[in-house]
A = this chain, B = another copy of it.
């Protein structure tokens, strides 16, 4: 019998009725003869509510206690789903992350899974149980509970699927799959039947909210096929996998966008070794993630340096950067928080010229000014004004004929 791992997000288990509905979906897979392991997130807004409660008591809570607190959310939903399956006449057992054998490092609030010992899960599956695992959590070597941070339950699901040698990891969510662009922006956007790990990774890191890039990476490492589908309607969804897809060659596969982009520019930076480290080390220490870095060609050993961060980090980053700029005798620090980015993604772009030119041409036709450009082998990203992002996505979707099957 094949093992199937399913994951349901917080909105899919937000109340008693939805949990009963998910129990029905889970039992269908079981009735087909699969051994079913289900990973659940916390119900609806539970995690946010717990964070709010904690912040009322301590605006800067210890990550160790915060993780122990937040881990209860997923335990609650796992037990309720097991109870719903019992009520429907199925055998089921709920396991916390530690009970499921999930070990993590001790980086509280953003722990990484260090190993899975699935003995208990296998024992319960062999007894005929559907196994419900509380996502987002594991046990450190010190016997403490750590949570996996953003995308945690997806990561739990893919890691469990890999360790159990499941035939597939099914991620059920509030969208019907991976689209050529965000359907809320581009009504003509098409759902993709399949997509490669690398393309999905670029989509995820470029702003597509479907899955966190961590779990896609994990899927890629273990070559675990991942289905992304709706938890509400019975539709096929999108399979993320590692196989070649002949048809996808020479094609842009999707347009991703992200509104959460801010830019900081330091002008008049003396162009000598060690300057970049002097600027970016203190940002890294403060936990500020820098996305794109662009340095202009130097004139008279003086250059301008620009980098992008998320909007929430601008104030903190400026506080850190201003004294540094003064120290290295730079001229000025400027910030712009009204930016966004748009990306075209596809393995078909690899080593094929013309995609960048077509992208810039399309944006130019719409009178959209490009502020920064970054590329990977299978992605081209342009930083543009926030209020032009949707227009850009629509125009690019049309220009690259993504509305056509």
Contacts A86-B65, A94-B65, A143-B120 given: A19-B79 contact, CB under 8 Å?
no
Cβ–Cβ < 8 Å partners of A96 in chain B: 68, 145
Is residue A99 within 8 Å, beta carbon to beta carbon, of the partner chain? yes
Is residue A201 within 8 Å, beta carbon to beta carbon, of the partner chain? no
Interface residues of A in 77-91 (CB under 8 A from B): 78-80, 82-84, 86-87
Q: Which candidate, A33-41, A55-63, A305-313, is the interface stretch facing chain B?
A: A55-63
Nearest CB of chain B from residue A19's CB, rounded to whole Å: 6
A76 to B78, CA, bound (A): 17
- Can you tell how many copies of this chain the complex includes? 2
Of B16, B53, B62, B82, the contact of A65 (CB 8 Å cutoff): B82
A96 to B72, CA, bound (A): 11
Contacts A62-B86, A99-B143 given: A54-B68 contact, CB under 8 Å?
no
Is residue A317 within 8 Å, beta carbon to beta carbon, of the partner chain? no
Nearest CB of chain B from residue A335's CB, rounded to whole Å: 32
| B72-A75 in contact (CB<8A) | yes
Of B20, B56, B80, B145, the contact of A69 (CB 8 Å cutoff): B80
Is residue A382 within 8 Å, beta carbon to beta carbon, of the partner chain? no
Contacts A64-B93, A99-B144, A143-B120 given: A58-B72 contact, CB under 8 Å?
no
A60 to B88, CA, bound (A): 12
A residues near B (Cβ < 8 Å) are: 16, 19-20, 50, 53-54, 56-62, 64-66, 68-69, 71-72, 75-76, 78-80, 82-84, 86-87, 93-94, 96, 99, 120, 143-145
